[in-house]
Amino acid sequence: MLGRIKKVWKTLVGKSPAGDPARLLPREDGEDQSLAANLDTNLERLRAILGESLDLVYRKFRTGPGQGIRAAVLYLDPMVDKKRLEEFILRPLMVDARMVPLPGLTPGKALDRLKEKALAIGDVKEVSTLGGVVAGVLEGNTALLLAGETRALVAETRFWEGRAPEEPISEAAVRGPREGFTETLQTNIAMLRRRLKSSRLRLEHFTIGRVSRTDVVIAYLQGIAPCQVIEEVRQRLQRIDIDGILESGYIEELIEDHPSSIFSLVTRTERPDKVAPGLLSGRVAIL
């Protein structure tokens, strides 16, 4: 099956900006823009920059007494400390701030009041551009946006979860990082995010297997990976009809043109430091 992908790849790989070390990709459109006073406008612009990756969470709510003020938090699920997020950010904003009077909690002034009186977290930074929000979120922090505010708060919530990534026995390295993917998809996504803190990184989720219902994710860099290759990978995964996917070899066999060929048509690796440069060169990874 991969013959068509290989043909498309050969014709397009030379056009990839990542293939030229002297050429840098431009910043994503809109990152230099200032935040608007309209919350929905800001969220729409952030979605345009960051996309709709499965690990990206947008949480809307109201904060403050009475009807309150419309607010939203934005974070990457596998990279945040959930306990810190819930206890020191969400609960103070969604529960405590509605019960305790906070004078001056009006549009245009609410951000300062919440920063001083509600957020029970030490490291909080103020940003005024979409790029500032994006950079904070890609670092594993949580961004807070309010209606009527042209600024946002970025709170420190970074956390490493799961068992310690170990060096793959089958791919031992003399130099460089000594960590490999684990059995947990969210941990693997976090390892990729830590290496590629880019708003171009896209993650798309698929559920494969009638019985096993296995979570599968494709990862690629928008603007670098050829659109034809991305679409071909999507279609091949969607065509898989099997009872169970228990390990990656199943998928490899089912999407290859010649599963019995002695020449490997896909690259297998347990190392995130090999996947990252592959994505930078325009390839698509399947996790």
Question: Rounded distance, CA 191 to CA 276, Å?
Answer: 10
Tokens of 223: 């603007």
Question: Rounded distance, CA 66 to CA 68, Å?
Answer: 5
E strand residue ranges, 124-213: 124-127, 142-146, 152-155, 201-208
Whole-number pLDDT of residue 183: 80
Whole-number pLDDT of residue 113: 82
Torsion angle of C-alpha atoms 159, 121, 88, 62, degrees rounded to 10: -110
pLDDT in tens, the chain (287 residues): 445 544 544 444 444 444 454 456 665 656 788 999 999 999 999 999 998 888 999 999 998 877 788 999 999 998 899 999 999 999 988 887 776 665 556 666 788 888 888 888 888 999 999 999 999 999 999 999 999 899 999 999 988 654 455 555 555 554 556 678 888 888 888 889 888 989 999 999 999 988 989 899 999 999 999 999 999 999 999 998 889 888 877 888 888 766 555 555 678 888 888 899 999 999 999 99
Whole-number pLDDT of residue 219: 94
Q: Where are the domains of the chain?
A: 2-25+179-286, 39-155
Tell whether the torsion through CA atoms of 67, 70, 73 and 74 is positive or negative. Answer: positive
Whole-number pLDDT of residue 168: 57
What pTM value is reported for the model?
0.76
Whole-number pLDDT of residue 3: 54
Contact in structure between 50 and 84 (CB atoms under 8 Å): no
DSSP 8-state secondary structure symbol assigned to residue 94: I
Whole-number pLDDT of residue 141: 94
Question: Rounded distance, CA 25 to CA 260, Å?
Answer: 39
Q: Which residue has the tokens 């992908």?
A: 5
Contact in structure between 279 and 201 (CB atoms under 8 Å): yes
